[in-house]
Amino acid sequence: MKIPTEPIGSIPRPPALIEAVSSRDGTDPSLDGMYDDAIRDTIARFEATGSPVITDGEQRKYHNFWTYCVHGLPNMGPDGFKIPFSAGHTRRMPRLTKGPFRYQRYADAYLDVAKRYAHVPVKQAVISPSALSLLYPAEAIPEYPREQFIQDLLNEHETEIRNCLRKGAHKVQVDFTEGRLAVKIDPSGELLHSFIDLNNLALSRFTPEERQRIGVHTCPGADRDSTHSGDVDYAELLPSLFQLMAGNFYVALAGEADRVRVLKIIREHLKADQRVFVGVVAPIDPRVETPEEIRDRVLEAAEYIPIDQLGTTDDCGFSPFCDDLSTTRDKAFEKIRARVLGTALAVKEIGGSA
């Protein structure tokens, strides 16, 4: 019995690239060579860890994983939704100022480049419709009602996923970090349920076979060794999470204080046609986990999750925001190698093949 293992997405950018992007617009053509070098190096180092599935490290998602698709659009203002982190800093989304809503770029463009250099399957992360729905302001935009915005948003999201599937992405991972945050913003659960409904409208556009190649990632955020919603009880999110019509779920778990409690909730709500990749590596923990620790976490999860529905992953990307210097590239790849080796150790102990 195999236990698949996959990364989430981002890898810290080389310091020279971070410095260059900070001093000019991320789309400046003069940066193309640096981006290309960073992607090639990331893929080579990713493959050297033994990871059977890799990403491009999101090296070219100019500012962050959340707004890569709209960065630079003329109808975006700088004063959008604020995301506060436990370290005391905030991140701010842009705000849509007028219609129509269109993507500036689709994630399949990143996949195109990664597949030029990769020798193993490549997965591609995309942002969720619910995250981008926060671009629309509380007050209605004249001549562009929210209902029309939502339709345009769903169309763009569908196009992006279809492009990635058509171009051979191993999986398309929908980043849903705002799920747990929604509970913090609105403890009544109404905001979370609206997010679930919106994302299901998007997922319903795909066949059951296509949805087996689509996954949803949830975490409490990871930026500068801090979270935006780590204090929110997972029990308020997970029952709703597994109502999403996706075939795969990537659930941050390594950083949780009571992993067994979370595993019991997952066991209760996981459907027969869904696989859950549990986080066994904590990117915001400065200590590198040992393969033996990873093995023990996998074996712990296997006590609650059927082996044929279990996978392993990292809790989050290692640098979702490109200016985050809290984790080095070397440490990120050490942690990934530990995940790969630890998962293989667990499989061997269970009696399967890695």
DSSP state of 226: B
Q: Note whether residue 4 is domain-resident.
A: no
Q: Using alpha carbons only, how large is the chain's radius of gyration in Å?
A: 19
Rounded to whole angstroms, the Cα distance separating 314 from 296 reads 15
Q: Note whether residue 90 is domain-resident.
A: yes
Q: What is the side-by-side order of every strand in the sheet holding 124-127?
A: 124-127, 172-175, 214-218, 248-251, 275-281, 310-314
What's the pLDDT score for residue 37? 95
Rounded to whole angstroms, the Cα distance separating 69 from 61 reads 8
What distance lies between CA 176 and its chain's CA centroid? 7
The CATH number of whichever domain residue 286 belongs to comes to: 3.20.20.210
Report pLDDT digits (tens) over 13-44: 998 888 888 877 777 888 889 999 999 999 99
φ, ψ for residue 252 (rounded to 5)? Answer: -60, 130
Answer for the pair 176, 217: CB distance below 8 angstroms, yes or no.
Answer: yes
Q: Note whether residue 223 is domain-resident.
A: yes
Q: Note whether residue 2 is domain-resident.
A: no
What's the pLDDT score for residue 270? 98
Please spell the DSSP secondary structure of 39-64, one letter per residue: HHHHHHHHHHTT-SSB--TTTT-SSB
Q: Note whether residue 5 is domain-resident.
A: no
Rounded to whole angstroms, the Cα distance separating 312 from 295 reads 10
Rounded to whole angstroms, the Cα distance separating 323 from 113 reads 22
Rounded to whole angstroms, the Cα distance separating 57 from 15 reads 14
- pLDDT of 354 higher than 60: no
Q: How many domains does the chain have?
A: 1
Handedness of CA 117, 326, 253, 321 (dihedral sign): negative
Residue 70, CB-side half-sphere exposure with 13 Å CA sphere: 29
Q: Note whether residue 136 is domain-resident.
A: yes
Q: Of 311, 310, 276, 280, which is closest to residue 295 (Cα–Cα)? A: 280
Rounded to the nearest integer, the mean pLDDT of the chain is: 93
Rounded to whole angstroms, the Cα distance separating 31 from 21 reads 8
Where residue 352 falls among pLDDT bands split at 50, 70, 90?
A: low
pLDDT average, residue stretch 245-254:
98
User: 73: burial class by Cβ within 10 Å (0-12, 13-18, 19+)?
Assistant: middle
- pLDDT of 89 higher than 90: no
pLDDT average, residue stretch 62-66:
78
Q: Note whether residue 3 is domain-resident.
A: no
Other beta carbons less than 10 A from residue 78's beta carbon: 8
- pLDDT of 157 higher than 80: yes
Please spell the DSSP secondary structure of 231-250, one letter per residue: TS-GGGTHHHHTTS--SEEE
User: Can you list the alpha helix ranges (DSSP code H) found in the chain?
Assistant: 15-23, 32-48, 108-117, 129-133, 146-166, 178-185, 190-203, 208-211, 238-241, 259-269, 291-302, 329-350
Cα distances (Å, whole numbers) of residue 166 to 162, 169, 225: 6, 8, 36
Q: Note whether residue 9 is domain-resident.
A: no
pLDDT average, residue stretch 63-79:
89
Rounded to whole angstroms, the Cα distance separating 147 from 195 reads 15
Report pLDDT digits (tens) over 167-220: 999 999 999 999 999 999 999 999 999 999 999 999 999 999 999 999 999 998
Cα distances (Å, whole numbers) of residue 42 to 12, 49, 325: 9, 11, 16
- pLDDT of 80 higher than 70: yes
| Full domain range(s) for residue 149 | 15-350
